[in-house]
Each structure stands twice: as C-alpha cells, then as structure tokens.
Amino acid sequence: MTGTGDITNRSRASAGWGTSHQPRASCDAVTAMLTAAPKDHTIPHALVARRAIITGLAMAPITAAVTAAAQTRHPDHDLLEAGRRYDAAVESTKATGAALSEAHEAIHKEAGKCPPILFLDDDEKSWVARPESRRFVPKLRLRWVDRVDPDTGKETSFQAWTASALRQCLPHAVPMFGPAGTTPRRIARWRAILPEAEAYDSAVAAAEARHRIGEMREADRRARRERDEAERAILRQTATTIIGLAVITRHVLSHDFSRMPPSWTALLLSAAKISGVALSRPAFDAARWVEEFEGLGGHVYRPEVHGTSGLGWPVRHDDPPEVREALSRLHQEQEENHLAIRLFIERGVTA
C-alpha cells in the first residue's frame, strides 16, 4: 500500500516539479507539458501559481517606479510645462524676429532702393484704401517700403507697386474707374512702370533667395505658433500651488493690462507678492509722464473721480509735427512703462 507521501511525490513528479529523489524538470520539460495540456487548456494549479509569483516579482520594481513617479509629480505639472514652453518660445520668436530684420536689411541693401516711380500716388492710395476696390482685385500684392517721409522727415512705410499688382489692375482699370476721366492716364502710367516693377521684383527675389528668407519666415511662423499654443495652455490652467500661481502672474505681468479694472490691479499685485514674482519696473518718472500727457490734451481717468482708470489719447489731425512727435514718444514710453503709469494713476505710487 502506498503512503500519502508517495502519492504527493508522484503528483509533484507528474506536474513536472520533481522530487528530492528525481532531478528537477528543465524548461524544456515544462514547455512540453504545456504543449501537451488537455484540450480544455487547463494548466496544473502549481504551475499557474509559480508563474504568477514570477510575474509578480518581475513587475514589482516597475509598479514601484510608476507609483513613485505619480507621487513625485507636481500638482501644477502641466502649468509649469506650459510656462517653460512659453518662455522658450518667446526667446525663439525674439531670435527669429531679429534674424528676419537683419535679413531684410541685407536684402534692401543688395536689391537697392525701390524706384520712386513705383510708389503709389495719392489717388492710388485713396483707391486702394476703399473697400470696393476688393471687388475687382481681392488680393492686391503691393510692397511695403520704408523711406523718409518728406513732410515729417521721419522714416515711414509706404506702399509700392509690384509687377503682379500692376498686372492684376490693368485689365480692371476701365470697370474700376470708367472709360474716361483720368483712366487713360492711369493705364498709361501703369504700363510705363511695369518694366521697372519687374526689374525690382527680380532683384528682390534674387536677394531673398540668397538669404533663404522663405525658410526664415517659416521658422518665425513656427516659433510664434508654438508661443501662442503655450500661452493658450497657460490660460487653460488653474494654479493650485504658489509656484503655479507665479507662472500665471508672470504671464499676466508680461502683457499690457491697462484695460483691466482697478480691482484687477490689486489682485495681480497681491498674486505677485504672494508668489514672489518681482515686478519689473525700471526707474521711471510716471508723474512727469502724466503731466506731459495732460499738457498735450490727453485725458487721465482716475478711480476717485471716474470710478475707473485709463487714458484718453487726443485725436487731432491738425496738430503740428512737434506735437505729433511728442505724443508718439509718450506712446512708446507708455508701452515700456505701463505698470508704473497705472500704479501712479491708481495709487499715487511713483517708484
């Protein structure tokens, strides 16, 4: 009669585990046993248990690593990443913009000055500005050229004809202006300057090809697109930590928030103080700026008087050149020091 121990040993042997009296089954034996399993694909319980133990031991380090990573992930991780993306994209746009400016300067030097005859005259500028002109030439490809304005002595952008724009307009001259009047003279002018436009277009195109301006413009577009996407990602987030609040605060402070109500100023400055964001305010005499602005006819809205704060810029087309120049300078100063000016208007703070 066989004892219980013998039955156990035989069961183990049949399961492929071996006993103390038999050598342990090899991997090949296990594979053969699995292949010869019954058609209902049942696997001996002991083998299933062993495989589960081995799998569990193998997965334990991975599970622990995933758990640790989840525990160390910052609550504002997505917001911080968006902030880093935005900062990097801003630097990229600065670099691509500077490279484009340098390339354009080089192109203008190589192509030479735009022939003065190609600049639009007053009648042409007036016609181009009218909305009805778009019915005839919906996409008029004119060229913008910087030159010194003879009236003000300052460099200003002017529109100039290109060969493609002239070819667009010539067939539509009579429908646009009628068969009589100045139309014959206008057609004659356009035909006369067409060779000049073609020659200048060719010179510009050759210079642009040498400086790979197309690739640079595409790089600039990509950088700006990345910046805009990162900005939208920031504005979709809600900060839950101090460091996350700092990201949003820095972002808002980098923009002109002059149209915000006064209560937003208090909120923004409070957020900056709590999150440790330094206010980028160079030394600027805001009191002098406001006094000069009002002296030139500008209107300052003060919370204690008007319930809100803001600036009303004078709009007078008959101002002498020195007044227009002073207003232009004040506008530039406001763009660079909008926070200091706003704090002075709302709180009387000058530093």
Q: How far apart are CA 288 and CA 343, in angstroms?
A: 14
Check if the beta carbon of residue 144 is closer than 8 Å to that of residue 159. Answer: yes
Q: What are phi and psi of 306, to 5 degrees?
A: -105, -5
Q: Higher-confidence residue: 207 or 321?
A: 207
Q: How far apart are CA 286 and CA 345, in angstroms?
A: 9
Give 88-113 pLDDT, tens digit per residue.
Answer: 999 999 999 999 989 988 998 899 88
User: Within 13 A of 2's CA, how many CA atoms are on the CB side?
Assistant: 8
Check if the beta carbon of residue 71 is closer than 8 Å to that of residue 219. Answer: no
| Least trusted range by pLDDT, from 29-43, 118-132, 198-212, 333-347 | 29-43
- pLDDT, mean of residues 243-259: 83
Q: Which residues contact 69 (CB under 8 A, 6 or more apart)?
A: none
**Torsion angle of the four alpha carbons 185, 187, 192, 193, in this order, in degrees rounded to the nearest 10:** 110
- Name the one residue in this structure whose structure tokens are 């691509």: 96
Q: How far apart are CA 349 and CA 299, in angstroms?
A: 19
- Name the one residue in this structure whose structure tokens are 């300067």: 105
- pLDDT, mean of residues 314-321: 77
- Residue 7 predicted with pLDDT over 80: no
Q: Choose the most confident range, by mean pLDDT, from 37-46, 129-138, 257-266.
A: 129-138
Give 169-199 pLDDT, tens digit per residue.
Answer: 888 888 877 788 788 898 999 999 999 999 9
Q: How far apart are CA 301 and CA 262, in angstroms?
A: 11
Q: Quick one: pLDDT band at residue 10, thresholds 50, 70, 90? A: very low
- pLDDT, mean of residues 258-274: 81
Query: Which residues on adjacent β-strands are paired with residue 116?
Result: none
Q: What is the pLDDT of residue 234?
A: 94
SS3 category, 127? helix
